[in-house]
Chain A
């Protein structure tokens, strides 16, 4: 995937209606329109249940849409793509595989070059601070460590596009801060296109080029906020007045009723 500024993900008139087992229709997304450009970091914030995970699953190609167009690099998304990596809200590790084997799962499934990618997997595990835990099993790890394994796993096949669904929600504040800085570093070095769902407004502002604010269910894009803070960002960025202004502006759209918007970085 080539030059910056080119749209990588294009979504037009996207709608998703779930049919529940009782025959009820739940409209989760309604008329969603946006574009995400090559190497861009976009965060999505919105009240709980507004369809953020639904959007991610449609982009991931594991959930069929009801209406609209969804393009990845110009072609319609009809199923899972090798160009997309994902970190789910929960770690989703296999309890019968150790940390290293879990991180290497994409290598086995996608039949990638073992020697090359296993080396990469080792480096990524070291990056997320789990070098000494390669032989441990998921049940021997804390929830936060498990999520870091799943982040390493998503990065192992080096996908140009990364979708992340509240990946740091289960981490304690310090680890979350560290992971944010690591993500900034990874993104700046690899120039991936990242769609990042979060509950934390400050996290969204710190990481993103743009923040998409979704309306309550059925979710649609309520506002797109451009974050014009200089790169490379660090923890000092948070204490600038520009940062505070943007965060406040975004919070204004989410209202007081949604307690989740108040999560601290």
Chain B
């Protein structure tokens, strides 16, 4: 399997657990970035040793990898990863659900748009992290407050993209549904929603990235467990190498989830990008 994301982070692995030459050959364009990674890691390690930097200032990559191994083997990382993962997934699902429903209601029902849309716009401008402390007070130090915060940050890109997506439907397609005597619900289900899907999925890609940030910042504000909580704790104890190890886990989660959303988007809105290839004639 070859995972790669727009951020340029590349993770290569296959079932056998080693690099597969044929697959590597397919992704020849990835080789420069992999070489860069190794060069950067070696220079980093060299720099740390040469300047004799103390590990609480900047640990070298070997040190970090060792901490990663011990953290994983000892099970500590897994416990906290599982907590954060739950927060991200639950928050993402909740935020996407609410964002989608709100977006549809605002787009399709005039009175809803007139009543709540101005407030939605105002709320969107508000930095959501600023209200995070409130949620900790309302929902406690447990997982709930983090899910709510995550949902709130994941909600807006979905909401906005649902509204934009539903507006960009082709007028000619609406004419067709109209001419076929389609009901409002049929037009929504058979025409507007599928038309909006590519833009909605673009929103989901943003939402999943924000969900990871939301969960971590939520944990920074107040938590009993989770990778964000762990980072704060380790920072406090100046165990910086372990902080770096946690950051690696966090980026892997981010890249993996983003990749999954992107992949399902490509599978579901398969027609995007293909339409422009239409040949005129015959």
Footprint of B on A, CB under 8 Å? 57, 60-62, 79-82, 84, 86, 88, 90, 92, 94-96, 105-106, 108-110, 137-146, 170-172, 175
Closest chain B residue, CB of each to CB of A90: B172
> 9 A-B residue contacts at CB 8 Å?
A62-B179, A92-B173, A94-B190, A138-B271, A140-B274, A142-B279, A144-B280, A144-B281, A172-B281
Q: Are A143 and B281 in contact (CB under 8 A)?
A: yes
Shortest CB distance A218–B (Å)? 22
Residues in chain B near residue A62, CB distance under 8 A: 175, 178-179
Residues in chain B near residue A60, CB distance under 8 A: 179
Closest chain B residue, CB of each to CB of A79: B181
Q: Are B277 and A139 in contact (CB under 8 A)?
A: yes
Interface residues of B in 174-194 (CB under 8 A from A): 175-182, 186, 190-191, 194
Q: Which of B173, B178, B269, B281 contacts A80 (CB 8 A)?
A: B178
Q: Does B282 contact A (CB under 8 A)?
A: yes
Shortest CB distance A167–B (Å)? 14
Q: Are A95 and B274 in contact (CB under 8 A)?
A: yes
Q: Are A94 and B281 in contact (CB under 8 A)?
A: no
CA distance A106 to B178 in the complex (A): 11
Shortest CB distance B84–A (Å)? 35
Shortest CB distance B100–A (Å)? 18
Footprint of A on B, CB under 8 Å? 170, 172-173, 175-182, 186, 190-191, 194, 197, 269-271, 274-275, 277-282
Q: Which of B170, B180, B197, B271 contacts A110 (CB 8 A)?
A: B180
Q: Which of A82, A84, A94, A142 has the most CB of B within 10 A?
A: A94
Q: Which of A82, A94, A140 contacts B194 (CB 8 A)?
A: A94
Residues in chain A near residue B177, CB distance under 8 A: 109
Shortest CB distance A209–B (Å)? 24
Q: Which of A90, A109, A139, A172 contacts B190 (CB 8 A)?
A: A109
Q: Are B181 and A142 in contact (CB under 8 A)?
A: no
Q: Are A88 and B280 in contact (CB under 8 A)?
A: no
Q: Are B194 and A92 in contact (CB under 8 A)?
A: no
Q: Are B176 and A92 in contact (CB under 8 A)?
A: yes
Residues in chain B near residue A144, CB distance under 8 A: 280-282
Residues in chain A near residue B186, CB distance under 8 A: 108-109
Q: Are A139 and B179 in contact (CB under 8 A)?
A: no
Q: Are B179 and A80 in contact (CB under 8 A)?
A: yes
Identify 17 new A-B residue pairs, CB closer than 8 A, beyond the known A94-B190, A108-B186: A57-B175, A79-B181, A88-B172, A92-B170, A96-B271, A106-B180, A109-B182, A109-B186, A109-B190, A137-B271, A138-B271, A139-B275, A139-B278, A140-B274, A143-B280, A145-B282, A170-B280
Q: Which of B176, B270, B271 has the most CB of A within 10 A?
A: B176
Shortest CB distance B125–A (Å)? 28
CA distance A79 to B182 in the complex (A): 11
Q: Are A175 and B194 in contact (CB under 8 A)?
A: no
